[in-house]
Amino acid sequence: MKIAFALSAALSLMLVSSPAAPGEEQAAERRGRGRELGITIGTLPTGRWNAITDVAGVKVGHVTLNQGQGKLVPGQGPVRTGVTAVLPRADVWREKVPAGSFVLNGNGEMTGLEWIEESGYLETPIALTNTLNVGRVYDGLISYMLKRYPEIGVTDVTINPVVAECDDSELNDIQGRHVSDAATVRALENARSGPVEEGAVGAGTGMIAFGFKAGIGTSSRVIPPGDGGYTVGVLVNANMESREHLTIKGAPVGRELPGPAQRSGDGSIIIIVATDAPLSARQLKRLARRAPLGLARTGALSRHSSGDLILAFSTGNTIPHQPKDRASALIELADTRLNPLFQAVEEATEEAVLNALTAAPTVVGRDGRVAEGLPLEKVKEILRKYNQLR
C-alpha cells in the first residue's frame, strides 16, 4: 500500500521545530483520549470502557516493537512496528460469529475475506500489522490456532486466518518484517477485555494520520434500551490523509494548525466493528458500509491508492462449527430497527480516529524522521474558536 503521504513532503512536514536527538524522548504534553480533553463526539452514550471491548467477550492484545535509532539499515532497523489482535469471543473456532465486510478502496490486504463473504461468518481471531509482515503474522495466527485445535488439518478442516495491514515504512524498517510468529502468538495470548491501549502501540506503532502520529484508536456506543440497548464497538488502525484535511467536530483543525501546507496523499485505514446486536451477515455488511460515514467526518478522503477495509462481526448469534442438527435458527434484528446501530457505528468510528491521534505521542523513527504528536492544547484552542469546546 501507499504510504500516508509522499516521502518528499513528509520529511519537511513532519519535523517538529526542535526535535530531540533520535532515540530520545520528546518533552511532550500529557496525552489523553478525546473525551479526557473535553471533546465529545455524537450524542449516544459510550460503553464502560469506550472501546471495542465493551462488546462482551471481545478482547484486544498488542505487541509493540520499538527498537534502535538512526539511519535505516534495511532488514535490521530501526524498528517501529507491531501487531494487534482482536478476539471476537473465547472460542470463535467452535462458536463462529456472523460477519460481513466492506471495501471502500482496495489497495490493501485483509486475508480471509473471500471465505467470510462466502460463508457469512468469522472463525478466527483478527490480527493487524504492517504491509510486508502479513505473511509472518498469518503464520503466527495459524500457530496459535493449531496449539488450541490440533485437529485442524488432520481430522478437521483447515483455516483461513484474517490478517489486515497498513504501511508503516515511513518510520519503520518494513523490509525487516520484524513481527515474528512468536510475537503474534503473544499478542493473541495477551488479549484482554477492559481498557484498550491506543496510539503508537501494536500495529499502530509506526502509523501516521493527517500528518501526525496516530495508530490504534477505539470507541463504543450503547443504543437506548427502547431500541434494544445493544453495544457497538469500533477499533481502527489509522494511517491516512494529510494535515490540511483534519476535521474535529466540524472544525477545520488541520487548516488552522501552524506549519507548512501539505499536499494530499494516499493512505490506509483498517476498521473493525463489533456488536452484540443479533445481526445476519447481510446486515453486518450494511453496518460495515456505514463506518466510512464516521471516517468522512474526520476529513479523510478515500483515494485511488488507499486501502480502506472494514470488517464487522456480531456476537449476538452463534454458528456452531459442527452442528448436530440439520437446521438451526439464527435471530435477526428487523431491518427497520437498524438505524440506531448505523448511528452508533458512525459516531464510534469518528471518535476512534480522534483517539488514535490524541493518544499517540511524538515518535522518532528511521533516519531520524519525526512523527509529531497532535498538539492537543492548540487543538483545544481551535475548537473553542469554532464554539465546539468550552
Give catalytic residue positions: 268, 306, 308
Round to whole Å and give the CA distance between 137 and 161: 9
Mark residue 137 as left, alpha or beta (left: phi above 0; alpha: psi -120 to 50; beta: remaining). Answer: alpha
Residue 324 to residues 8, 159, 188, 320, 329, Cα–Cα distance (Å): 60, 21, 30, 9, 13
Chain centroid offset of residue 246 CA: 18
**Which cell is 293 given?**
460515514
Using only C-alpha atoms, what is the Rg of the chain? 20
- Look-up: residue for cell 438451526? 328
Element (H, E) at 126: strand 126-130
Candidates 278, 282, 267; CA nearest to 353 is 267
Asked whether 59 and 53 are in contact (CB, 8 A), the reply is: yes
CA–CA distance, 36 with 380 (Å, rounded to integer):
12
Q: First and final CA of the chain: distance in angstroms? A: 40
The secondary structure of residue 372, as a DSSP letter, is P
